[in-house]
């Protein structure tokens, strides 16, 4: 069992076989939420039902306290997929942090105890993913989609005016632009896109594969209408 610190609150993680289990009770305390509130949510009920049908394993357990129950085992626990969904229900920054800890624990067995990284900085530089994900994030999404990831998922919501400005300042030449899209977005556009980019980063971070990402994206954003930014469709 591994205890990690989030904002001064302890959260228990435990690897059981090939699954990572996380204490939802600890997660709720760390974010001021209630596990019962999550469980009553209509989307949660549908999600848990589908997970149980698909995986055919127990995905949530609850152990009441008592003199014969070790303290480390008490509370409500869930497998990693449910823990990530619960973290997203709490708040998006927490979701990204939980996803990072689970992936590190599953691959390396240990994780450094530190405060959550400031994910809200991802859109404050020319490469919006640089602060947290420059290599790891880009290696993953380029492996899944190639450079098309950025125009297909990151900047698909630009307005016609914003697209026109990019075409003027950073025109495609033979289908290729000289600079990243983000370098030519106005501060107002960046501010508008930041919440979406943060959610998108969380979906990427919690996905184990390209297919897993697509399913997570559809669940989070209701599908994708395949909008394209001219010059990024090669």
Q: Considering the entire predicted model, what is its pTM?
A: 0.47
What percent of the chain shows pLDDT beyond 70? 73
CA distance 112 to 162: 41
Which of 76, 96, 94 is closest to 12 using CA atoms? Answer: 76
Q: What pLDDT, on the 0 to 100 scale, is given for residue 177?
A: 67
Q: What pLDDT, on the 0 to 100 scale, is given for residue 129?
A: 54
In this structure, how many other beta carbons lie within 10 angstroms of the beta carbon of residue 135?
A: 9
- Residues 92-151 pLDDT 10s: 889 888 988 888 888 766 554 344 444 444 444 445 554 444 566 777 787 888 767 877
Annotate 119-178 with DSSP letters as a single string.
GGGTTSSSSTTHHHHHHHHHHHHHHHHTTHHIIIIISTT--HHHHHHHHHHS--BTTB-S
60, 82 contact by CB (below 8 A): yes
Residue 228 in this model has a pLDDT that exceeds 70 = no
């Amino acid at each position: 069992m591994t205890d990690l610190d989030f904002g001064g609150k302890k959260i228990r993680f435990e690897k059981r076989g090939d699954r990572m289990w996380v204490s939802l009770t600890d997660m709720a305390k760390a974010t001021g939420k209630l596990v019962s509130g999550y469980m009553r949510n209509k989307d949660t009920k549908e999600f848990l039902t589908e997970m149980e049908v698909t995986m055919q394993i127990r995905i949530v357990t609850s152990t009441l306290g008592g003199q014969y129950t070790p303290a480390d085992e008490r509370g409500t626990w869930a497998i990693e997929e449910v823990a990530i969904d619960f973290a997203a229900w709490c708040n998006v920054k927490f979701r990204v942090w939980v996803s990072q800890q689970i992936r590190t624990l599953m691959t390396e067995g240990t994780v450094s105890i530190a405060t959550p990284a400031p994910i809200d900085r991802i859109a404050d530089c020319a490469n919006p993913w640089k602060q947290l994900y420059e290599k790891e994030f880009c290696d993953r999404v380029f492996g899944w989609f190639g450079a098309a990831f950025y125009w297909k998922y990151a900047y698909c919501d630009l307005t016609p005016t914003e697209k026109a400005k990019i075409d003027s300042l950073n025109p495609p030449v033979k289908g290729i632009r000289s600079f990243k899209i983000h370098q030519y977005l106005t501060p107002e556009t960046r501010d508008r896109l930041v919440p979406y980019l943060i959610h998108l980063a969380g979906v990427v971070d919690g996905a184990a594969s390209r297919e897993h990402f697509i399913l997570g994206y559809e669940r989070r954003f209701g599908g994708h209408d395949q909008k394209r930014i001219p010059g990024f469709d090669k």
